[in-house]
Amino acid sequence: MSDAASDTPAPLPPSPWERGRPARSRVTPARVPLSRVRVVEAAFVVLDRQGLDGLSMRQVAAELGVTVSALYAHVSSKADLLELMYTRLFVGFDLPEPDRERWQEQLRDFARSVRRRLLSHRDMARISMAHVPFTAELLPHVEALLAIFRTAGLPDRISAEAGDLISTYINGFVLEEGMWQDRAAADEAGGSSLARPDWREMAGEMQNYFASLPEEDYPHLRALSGLMVTDSSDDRFDIGLEIILRGLASYLPDPAPSPPSQ
C-alpha cells in the first residue's frame, strides 16, 4: 500500500441525525440573467469608482463579468446608458400638489432633494448638464415644477425660464462640489503637499488672503473677507437658492388693494 493511500481518511458512517437524508450534492448557484436594471446598477458602481471619464461600456461589462456585446441587448450606446442612469436617479421622486401659499417652501424642498440625488453618485451633475430632461419618464417632473411657478402667480414668461434657472444653479453647485472633492482626493492619493481636504482650513486661508490684499485696489474684497467662504456647502447652497427665490418673488403681481372700509 502506498503512503498516499494510507494517508486517505476512511469514510465516516452516517451520523444518527443524518440517517435517511438524501446524499448532499454540490449546488451551483444560478446565474442571474443580464437585464437593463443590472447594467445600470453596474454603471453606477463604475461611475462611483472611476468617475465619468473612466466610465465605458467595456468597464461596465467587466463589472458584470460579461462581454461588451452582451450589453447591447439592453442599451444601445453609452449615451443611452447615461440617459438611463439619469432617469433612474429620479425614480420615486415626486413633487407635491402646487400650493400658492407655500410655493417657495416647495421649491426649497425640490432643490434640496435634487441636490441630494445628484450627490448620491459621482459626476451625476456632469451627466445632468448634458442631458435634456424631456424624456417620457421625466416630463411629469417638468410639468409639476411649472405648475408650482404658475400656481404661485408668476408671469408665464418667468415661469418658462425659472425651471431652467433653478436646475442650472443646482447642477452648477453640485458640479463645483464634486470637482473640489475629486481634487482633494487626487492630491491626497498622490501625496501632494497642496492637498486641502479640510474645507475649514482652506476657507481660513482664503479669508486671510483676501484680507491681505492692498486696500486701495481691493477695498470690497478686504471688507468682506471675514464673511466669504465661511459657511458649509449646505448653507451656501441655501443662501444662493434664497437669492433666486426672492428674485422670482419680485415678479409676482402686487396684491389687489383692500376695498375701503365703510
Average pLDDT of the chain?
85
Please give the single-letter amino acid code of residue 56. Answer: S
Sorted by sequence, the CB contacts under 8 Å of residue 79 that are 6+ apart come out as: none
Classify residue 154: in a domain, yes or no.
yes
Chain Cα centroid distance, residue 235? 18
**Together in a domain, 73 and 150:** no
CATH code, domain carrying 112? 1.10.357.10
The domain of 222 spans: 103-249
**Together in a domain, 134 and 206:** yes
Sorted by sequence, the CB contacts under 8 Å of residue 147 that are 6+ apart come out as: 95, 98
* Stretch among 134-143, 187-196, 226-235 having the lowest mean pLDDT: 187-196
pTM value surpassing 0.75 = yes
Q: Per-residue pLDDT averaged across 6-33, rounded? A: 57
CATH code, domain carrying 66? 1.10.10.60
Size (the chain), residues: 262
**Which of 89, 116, 132 finishes a domain?**
89
Please indicate whether residue 45 or residue 207 has the higher confidence score (pLDDT). Answer: 45
Per-residue pLDDT tens over the stretch 148-170: 999 999 999 999 999 999 999 99
- Separation of alpha carbons 102 and 189, rounded Å: 46
**Together in a domain, 78 and 164:** no
Classify residue 57: in a domain, yes or no.
yes
Per-residue pLDDT, 198: 61
According to DSSP H, which parts of the chain are helical? 3-7, 36-50, 57-64, 68-71, 78-89, 103-119, 124-129, 139-152, 156-189, 199-212, 219-223, 233-249
Classify residue 241: in a domain, yes or no.
yes
**Together in a domain, 116 and 198:** yes
Total of domains in the chain: 2
**Together in a domain, 244 and 116:** yes
**Together in a domain, 107 and 237:** yes
- Separation of alpha carbons 87 and 186, rounded Å: 29
3-state secondary structure of 26: coil
- Has residue 180 got a pLDDT over 80? no
Per-residue pLDDT, 195: 46
Classify residue 255: in a domain, yes or no.
no
Classify residue 71: in a domain, yes or no.
yes
- Separation of alpha carbons 136 and 87, rounded Å: 10
**Together in a domain, 206 and 85:** no
Per-residue pLDDT, 6: 52
Classify residue 170: in a domain, yes or no.
yes
Q: Per-residue pLDDT averaged across 51-61, rounded? A: 96
Classify residue 223: in a domain, yes or no.
yes
Q: Per-residue pLDDT averaged across 242-260, rounded? A: 86
DSSP string, 96-152: PPP-TTSHHHHHHHHHHHHHHHHHTSTTHHHHHHT----STTTHHHHHHHHHHHHHH
Per-residue pLDDT, 9: 60
- Has residue 187 got a pLDDT over 70? no
**Together in a domain, 113 and 237:** yes
* Stretch among 8-17, 105-114, 202-211, 240-249 having the lowest mean pLDDT: 8-17
- Has residue 83 got a pLDDT over 80? yes
**Together in a domain, 109 and 203:** yes
Alpha-carbon torsion, ordered 225, 230, 235, 241, to 10 deg = 20
Classify residue 258: in a domain, yes or no.
no
